[in-house]
Amino acid sequence: ASKITFLVDSTTMRVALSSAGVVAQTILALVFLNRFRSLTQGPRSTFRRLCSLRRFDDSTDMFPDHAYGPAFSSSKPYARAVVCIGGFGDSPASFSPLIKEISGGTVSGGDTIVLTPSTYGWHKWDHFHSARTLSYKDWVRDCLRELRLANTLSDDVTVVAHSTGVLPVVICLSKLETAGADRLVFTGSNLKPSKSDLSSKRLLLSPVGRLIRFVLPVIPKKLRKGPNGKLRPVDTINEEYHRNGFYLKAFPLNAVVQMWRLQDEVLSLADSSLHTRVKSVYLVNGELDGSVAPLSESEAVMTRIAGQSTSVESYELPGAGHSILFEKEEVGAAALVASKILNERQ
């Protein structure tokens, strides 16, 4: 009996030691991942600067010549080009109220052409697959391609970006070699997270976030409260859009993490790093926007990045949420954005 007890105890001991070894290796792996993250994401890291050079400046491999769009040897065919960059779950149709305001319901009216590319990750029916595997560099790449195309079409370029779409625009016009743009109009600027999302951001960008993304690859869309305290399925006040509009009810968690990583890239940009061609930046937010940081914080970020040579103006629309272009017409969002595009040339 004593021998049997001894054998059982020995087996138990070996299992315990093996389990302790696995736990120790896991802890070491997490420590290593955390150290590696600090090396690659630390604000003063030489390694990070080298990664940034490779990540954004190696345009030969990342942006082949055939992706730049048509080239014109003589005068450019349009007096004005408008590039619309969407955010999470947006499609080209997300800018339809603005296109109607600019060109009377046509995609290119008179001397203006409006480019509304699909946002990578939401660009086809199987978007959840691409959104679960995308990198924020995909958004930057596509944005740069559209900027280059717009500059082949016109000498006057305006970029309209909504929510997360603001982030690749700022990166392209601050870190990459591009002909630039004349003015920027940002709606619902997602330059900083809302206070309610800060704890989630810290958790998902930590080493534990990898495990969370593996176990929970898709999450339901966070519901925001309306002025009456009622939860809204999408961040607009317009209840008709709640019933009849298109919006996503769930997001791949990877896309959320990529958004926050790109957000950190923007927040780490140097002062006065925005392209010198940009002379005006307009920030338009809804008064009841619960999806992003307050307008004053976004204005402070853009003022720092833009520098003294660029004017930064902000507008807050009463009775509007995050997706201001789909609020009721009397809110005046599309008309305001269109005026900033068109009146600049008067």
What average pLDDT score do residues 195-219 get?
A: 87
* Mean pLDDT computed over 209-225: 84
pLDDT > 60? residue 116: yes
Find out whether 271 and 304 touch, Cβ atoms under 8 Å.
Answer: yes
Cβ proximity of 140 and 164 under 8 Å:
no
Confidence at residue 232, expressed as pLDDT on a 0 to 100 scale: 81
Contact yes or no for 305/337 (Cβ under 8 A)? no
Which parts of 143-221 are beta strand (E)? Answer: 157-162, 183-187, 218-220
pLDDT of 346: 39
- pLDDT of 167 over the 90 cut: yes
Strand order in the sheet with 280-286: 112-115, 80-85, 157-162, 183-187, 280-286, 311-317
Report whether pLDDT(157) > 90.
yes
pLDDT at position 33: 45
**Residue 26's pLDDT is what?**
57
Digit-coded pLDDT (tens) for 54-107: 333 333 333 333 333 344 445 788 889 999 999 888 888 889 899 888 876 444
Residue 282: φ, ψ to 5°: -115, 125
**Measured distance CA(322)–CA(339) in Å, rounded:** 20
Higher pLDDT among residues 77 and 125, named by residue: 77
- The H-or-E segment that residue 231 falls in is strand 231-232
For residue 204, what is the DSSP state? H
Give which of 132, 108, 111, 130 is closest to 120, Cα–Cα. Answer: 130
Out of 13-17, 80-84, 143-147, pick the least confident.
13-17
Q: How far apart are CA 22 and CA 234, in angstroms?
A: 44
Six-digit token pair at 198?
């800060």
Which residue is it, tokens 């990750």? 121
Q: Pseudo-torsion of CA 218, 89, 260, 192, nearest 10°?
A: -130
**Mean pLDDT for the stretch of residues 304-311:** 94
The pLDDT of residue 303: 96
Q: C-alpha angle with apex 252: 226 to 189, nearest 5 degrees?
A: 50
Q: Is 344:280 a contact under the CB 8 Å cutoff?
A: yes
Query: How many of the other CB atoms lie within 10 Å of CB of 155?
Result: 13
What are residue 87's phi and psi, to 5 degrees?
Answer: -110, -150
Half-sphere exposure of 175 (CA within 13 A, CB side): 27
The CA distances from residue 176 to 59, 63, 96, 310, in Å, are 9, 11, 29, 18
Q: Is 215 helix (H, G, I), strand (E, B) or coil?
A: helix
**Nearest 5°: phi and psi at 311?**
-85, 140
Read off the pLDDT of residues 39-56 as tens digits, 9 standing for 90 and up. Answer: 334 333 322 322 232 333
Token pair, residue 305, equals: 């990045």
